[in-house]
Structure 1
Amino acid sequence: MAMPAAVGSLQVRVGAAVLLAALAVWAWDGFGLRGALRETAIDAVLALAPPKPAPLLTVVDIDSDTLARYGDWPWNRAQMARLVAQVAGGEPAAVAIDILFAGPDRHSPAAAARRIAAETGRADIADLVPSLPDGDALLAVALARRPVALGAVLETVPTPDFEPLTPVLASTAPAPTELWRTAGASGPPPMLRNAAQGLGIIAIAPDGDGVVRRVPLLALAGDAPVPGLAVEAVRLAEGAGALILDGAQNVLRIGGRVVPLGTDGQLRLGPALPAAWAARTVPAHRLLSGSADAASLSGRVVLIGSSAVEVGALRRTAGNPAAPSLQIQADAAAALLAGDVAHRPGWLAQGETAGALLLGLAALAAVAALRPLGGLCAGLGAGLLWMAAAVALVLARGLLVDPLGPPVVGAVTLAVALAMGFIETEWRERRLRSRFEQHLAPAVVARIAADPSALKLRGELRVITALFTDVEGFTSMTERAQPEALVAVLDRYFDRLSEVVVAHGGMADRFVGDAMLAFFNMPLDLPDHAGRALACALALRAETEKLRREPAFAALGFGRTRIGMETGPAVVGDVGGRRKLDYTAHGMAVSMAARLEAANKDLGTSICIGPGAAALLPPGAARSIGPIAVRGRAAKLEVFIPAGDREPPGPG
């Protein structure tokens, strides 16, 4: 069906307004939704990347098993010296230690002697210090054997005594990056710092959703640039004496390696699998015990740290809820060594906004020029094309293009524009529903909405089952009830009755006072309509008994619900003028259902079934209680009750 010109104009106007609003929210990103969607989508894309050859990287893990064998954490410096010496004996290309050695050693004999001498003023104890084992001295000797980078952390207060070990030289103007900046930093004591050849930041900051996705390539401690630990490990392996910050290209040169800095000077990591960690990891106890050959570390970059839960260096990542920071640093070093560095240039955000605008305009053009299905396919196709291109750029070039955000803007615009395309039909249907839904069953309203020419439904003769309900003692209850309480109870009562009737395929026709009239097998054919009506009657009785036990009903003394049902031919159709249609049924079955309901009072029953309905029920579903006199009939009428009900004591 072709769209009217006015509707098309509405599509364009409303769609354009939605597009502008979506772009404004997108560009503002005040709640971080844009960044959260982008990062989550990129996580999923990076998880699709095929495995790459493992670089020459080994992780030496002071795991829980190692701590169980060699003592609780924190280890003394002498123990760390033994581990570092064992690693250095394998002649690795470089070593990085993901541990902060804060302050001088406090656990070695020499440290204890210094402390006692200072506290007691005993010169003889101070004279013993040079002859006692000193943890810092032992560790310094081990550190000096190979190129080793130690860990430093960023501080929120100025630290004038802190000095980076690695010079960062700017080849051109400073790079336009938003580096992680703090007031200061702290590192190991001077003896260890002087023995090491590198000093790198081991701090890791999560994103707003608590997920760690990045490690710093460079950070600023005050005004001093400090490299990350992974950068220092690679620099030492490259044999570079300094790092070169190329502001013109916004890259960091690490020896012969060129690493894009992006906008924040951090390295974006993809989800890593524990299987990859296991393949590159050696438990520290195997080196200390000699069961692992240190020679296997020759020429490799080695990271030393701990994954033990008791150490507490666990972080949530996209691929693991409790990833050791040691393995996160190793992932960063592996990416640098492999040259597999994902990056996000500063211009990319503006490019994505332009892409979102183009996708939105494409959606508007598609729905304005094509039929609804064609416009939907064209608009979705444009979004899928963007997603495919973004995935390809992420996986093939490491360019962190947002695969989800711009298509979402385009999809929102498309959805609103398509909705406006149907506004005329929807408006017409709403007018019809608003006018007639208070009078007609939902199925009849749907028929009229689909064919407005059928506003006066033609009458027809149908065999229907009528069901009539009434509340015992309702009149006396109304005399003693507060109006507000009574109305609230009746609303709840009729809502539940209607739900039960509709659930059994019936049509709740009308409510009068405390009574409800419902029909089965109209306006559409309903197989086994008498059986459905009986099942509905039993459900109504059960549900209304539950309602009577609710406090609001019990406070009013709400009576039992009595039910009558009968089956027979009836004239079905509209009654009334065009201003007030009443789709209903007229016939003896309808009258008999009401009279059978009233007969319950004399019979002492709650469900009374007429012979017409009983004849259509399955064998054994109802049983006769004999003939009774019914108003409006000369002869007595045989009536029935559900087979499971107790025999009434008799009329009167």
Structure 2
Amino acid sequence: MVIVRSLLRRGARVVQDAGRWRLAGTALLLAVALFVAGWDWSRPLGGAGSQREIPTADAERGLYDWRAAAFAPRAEQDRRVLMVVYDDQTLIATRKRSPLDRGLLARALRNMDAMGAKSIGIDILFDQPQDEDQQLIDALRSMRTPVWLGYANFGDNREQIIFEQQQYLDSFLAQVRTDRVRPASIRLETDADNVARSWPRPTQGQPPLLSLAMQPSPLFNDYRGAIRFRKPLRQADGSETPVIPSLQIDLIADPAMAGALAPMVEGRHVLIGGDIVDIDQFETSLSGRQAKSTMIGLEVHGTMLAQLLDGARLPAIPQWALWGAAALVVLAAGLTSLAELRWFWLAPALGVQAGAIIGLPLWLQASGWDTKGLPAAGWGLGWVIAFAAVSAAARAVTSQQRRFAQSALGKYLPRDIAAQILAEPEKLALHGEKRPIYTLFTDLEGFTKLSHAIAPEMVAQLLNRYLDMLSDVVLAHGGTIDKFVGDAVVAFWGAPIARDDDGRKAAQAAYAMWQAGEAFRRDLPPGVPPIGRTRVGLHHGEAIVGNFGGEGRIQYTALGDSMNTAARLESANKPLETSVLVSREAMVLSGLDWWRPMGRVRLRGRATPVDLFEPAPGFAGEEREVLTQALAAFDTEDADARRDALAQLRAVADRHPEDAALANLVYRYEYIGDGGIYGLG
């Protein structure tokens, strides 16, 4: 339920934020996906008689043929059906190719009538006269066995018969028709790729289909599904015996052979037709999986007759089920896209869906269902279209939200950290954690007094410009802006994401913020009184960092003694006449060599003294060394060493008479005398 609610919320956000045109485009693509995944590919797009097909029809035909061939049942030789054929050897022997020798057919019919055939179907059109016609007419009129003569109609078989042939065919059938001899349709249907896959649809004016005429079955009267093709059973030696046996018509017509062949004819449905190279050859679903790539029309009729005899009416998948499956495919794709799963969840989710899309058609085919028309490729393509449509809309909305969020976070966090937070929002969870950070406080000297001396509009303009300048420095150096307190800026490094160079960046930012403050005070508008220095304090220590407040209103901030120490360092700049003060902890971790020591003091409200350092990149290195050694001497009990150290401090200060901070340092060590710590009030 939690997952469902999450998906619903995300879906609602996408709908709400996508915009009218993006929603319309997404809805259109989803409709296309549903159509592709649900349309029965065997049905033309423009209705009956139309030649337009769904674009995936070729792929669907290939997949169906593969399924049908892979799961086609293997069968022993069928003892209920026999094909009697004119083959190429027959044509050579009779010296007739078209029309086929009807005298030979007449003799064969008389013999089969005596052999006890169950029924006889003739897949030959008698559409033109021949010298042996009277022999055949006499034979047909004397038949006791039911005989079905092949019939084709000029109206729907224009490629096989012309008007004059139709007239002769009708005339011939009228002469031979008895209660035992009647016409039957030998029409077979092929798909757009000329492959025979389905039982033909009846057409107006046609007699019953040959297979149904030979073995009537109410179960198949309205059947228009797939032909169940069978594959021969493999023998132990690897050979295969044809599923439907065949004999040359020459043998059947020979009186000397009649007795020997009678067991093969007795009680069987006999189909008579041609097995001639390049004539009446059909590709079937098995064509790609067998050495013989085509099947004669006579064998197609025999296959349909055997299917009818077995009662193997393949159940069709209802249209509502196809559209329901299509809706599930589109829904699954959309939900998968909305879920934004991690790869270790996405991979199995995609695997399950792919398995269902690929496996269900195979399972249905193997279970005996008619999967002709089932959009197997359509399911896959529909899934891809739906996934891409929802994913594109969700990405666009997420990108829009991300840009807004990143813009908002970018006002307080560096751009790379903001991007990482958006990717891993748990890093800003509603809790606090103790971690070492670099804390920085600033203050603009005299700004409060100035705010009473100029117009409020100018105060707001100056303050915004000043805070923008300092904020840019913080973000440029990878820091996090904690808060603004009037003209003061509070920032820290090491949270929410800690990096190896945080110490160096924080120290550089402290110095750069003082420089930005100096640039600001030099560029004041005309009429604005002078503004004092920007003072900065930087300390490294542990603090509690996290989101504090509540679900409705939160602030990401740091709390603890480290923050207080940094604030006291900033305040110490004024009495010590410095601009940037850094604690020893922050100085050591910065890795920079520009520091000069500014002595040890006890900060206001603090019991433990702090060693102070000031960034002085322009101060000579040997002078920094003198200061370091001199201040170290004050930690000893040697009075002479302390006096020498004080003299060294005075000498350095005398060499820099303009440096008020050095003068203040000398004053402090003169004031504290032997031992003791200079304390700030």
Report which of the two structures shows the higher radius of gyration computed on alpha carbons: 2
TM-score of the two chains, using structure 2 as the length reference: 0.34
Q: TM-score, normalised by structure 1?
A: 0.35
